[in-house]
Amino acid sequence: MIKFCSLFSGSSGNAIFLGSDKTKLLIDAGLSAKKIIEALCSIGENPAGLSAILVTHEHSDHIKGVGILSRKFDLPIYANPATWRHMEALIGPVSPANMKFFETGEEFDIGDVCIRPFSTPHDAADPVGFNFFVGNKKITTVTDIGHVTRTLLEYIEGSHLLLLESNHDIEMLKVGRYPWYLKRRIMSDLGHLSNDMAGKTIAYLAGKGTRNFLIGHLSKENNFPDLAYQTVCNELHAKGICAGKDVMLEVALRDRVGSVIEMKV
Whole-model pTM?
0.97
Angle at 247 between CA 242 and CA 252, to 5 degrees: 110
CATH 1.20.1300.10, applies to 2-263: no
Give me the tens of pLDDT residue by residue for the chain, a chain 265 residues long.
999 999 999 989 999 999 999 999 999 999 999 999 999 999 999 999 999 999 999 999 999 999 999 999 999 999 999 999 999 999 999 999 999 999 999 999 999 999 999 999 999 999 999 999 999 999 999 999 999 999 999 999 999 999 999 999 999 999 999 999 999 999 999 999 999 999 999 999 999 999 999 999 999 999 999 999 999 999 999 999 999 999 999 999 999 999 999 999 9
Q: Determine phi and psi for 39, rounding to 5 degrees.
A: -65, -45
Task: Give CA–CA dist 210/236, Å, rounded.
Answer: 12
Looking at residue 187, what is its pLDDT?
A: 96
Distances in whole angstroms, Cα of residue 91 to Cα of each of 8, 61, 145, 254: 19, 12, 23, 22
The burial class, CB within 10 Å (0-12 / 13-18 / 19+), for 104 is: middle
- Give me the residue spans of the domains in the chain: 2-263
**Which of 44, 8, 45, 48 is CA-nearest to residue 27?**
8
Task: Give CA–CA dist 32/30, Å, rounded.
Answer: 7
Looking at residue 256, what is its pLDDT?
A: 93
Looking at residue 11, what is its pLDDT?
A: 87
- DSSP conformation letters of 43-94: TT--GGG--EEE-S--SHHHHTTHHHHHHHHT--EEE-HHHHHHHHHHH---
Return the amino acid letter for 172.
M
* DSSP tag of 165: E
Distances in whole angstroms, Cα of residue 254 to Cα of each of 36, 68, 157, 226, 231: 13, 21, 25, 13, 18
Task: Give CA–CA dist 2/81, Å, rounded.
Answer: 29
